[in-house]
């Protein structure tokens, strides 16, 4: 039986990211399930909660000063699979991040489910915490994409 895809190769943003995603796709192992994530983790764990692990995004969006990923610690893809208590902890995690990085403002976003709709690269549920880098000379507003681009 063919395994369910764990990454969506259409939704990459950087060439080295695509390469990493292709390697993941070949193994079929979910890169955000903790047993696999730990094996390949390069970024520091910033917060390790009951439901979420907070770390840096290896491929931050352009024009971000802070771009973190909160990864759900159980394999889940759709919002319906998430324990509502994890919502409470997610706010705590992002409050910690806002204080730790002294973030005056920004946003967080959680895309979910079918990656044709979410435009996510990894199916495993994760939330992103972003502070735009408004003081950079090349700054442009940070836009989060929902929905895959038409081919």
Per CB under 5 A, residues contacting Zn ion are 30, 32-33, 75, 124
Residues 108, 128 contacting (CB under 8 angstroms):
yes
In the complex, the smallest distance separating the C-beta of residue 72 from Zn ion, rounded to whole angstroms, is: 8
| Per-residue three-class SS string for 3-68 | CCCCECHHHCCCHHHHHHHHHHHHHCCCCCCHHHHHHHCCCCEEEECCCEEEEECCCCCCCEEEEE
DSSP 122: B
In the complex, the smallest distance separating the C-beta of residue 121 from Zn ion, rounded to whole angstroms, is: 13
User: Which single residue brings its beta carbon nearest to Zn ion?
Assistant: 30
Of 20 and 30, which has the nearer Cβ to Zn ion?
Answer: 30
Single out the residue of 53, 77, 61 nearest to residue 5, CA to CA: 77
In the complex, the smallest distance separating the C-beta of residue 24 from Zn ion, rounded to whole angstroms, is: 11
Residues 22, 15 contacting (CB under 8 angstroms):
no
Q: Is 50 exposed, middle or buried (0-12, 13-18, 19+ CB in 10 A)?
A: exposed
In the complex, the smallest distance separating the C-beta of residue 81 from Zn ion, rounded to whole angstroms, is: 11
Of 113 and 134, which has the nearer Cβ to Zn ion?
Answer: 113
In the complex, the smallest distance separating the C-beta of residue 39 from Zn ion, rounded to whole angstroms, is: 13
Of 111 and 132, which has the nearer Cβ to Zn ion?
Answer: 111
Of 58 and 75, which has the nearer Cβ to Zn ion?
Answer: 75
Of 67 and 124, which has the nearer Cβ to Zn ion?
Answer: 124
């Amino acid at each position: 039986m063919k395994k369910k895809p764990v990454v969506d190769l259409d939704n990459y943003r950087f060439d080295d990211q695509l390469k990493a995603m292709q390697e993941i796709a070949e193994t079929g192992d979910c890169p955000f399930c903790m047993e696999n994530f730990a094996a390949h983790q390069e970024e520091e764990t910033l917060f390790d909660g009951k439901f979420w692990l907070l770390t840096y995004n290896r491929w931050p969006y352009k024009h971000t000063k802070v771009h973190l990923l909160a990864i759900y610690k159980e394999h889940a893809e759709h919002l319906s699979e998430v324990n509502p208590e994890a919502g409470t902890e997610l706010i705590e995690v992002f409050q910690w991040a806002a204080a730790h990085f002294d973030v005056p403002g920004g946003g967080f976003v959680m895309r979910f489910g079918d990656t044709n709709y979410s435009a996510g690269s990894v199916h495993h549920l994760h939330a992103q915490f972003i502070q735009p880098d408004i003081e950079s000379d090349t700054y442009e507003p940070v836009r989060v994409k929902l929905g895959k681009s038409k081919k």
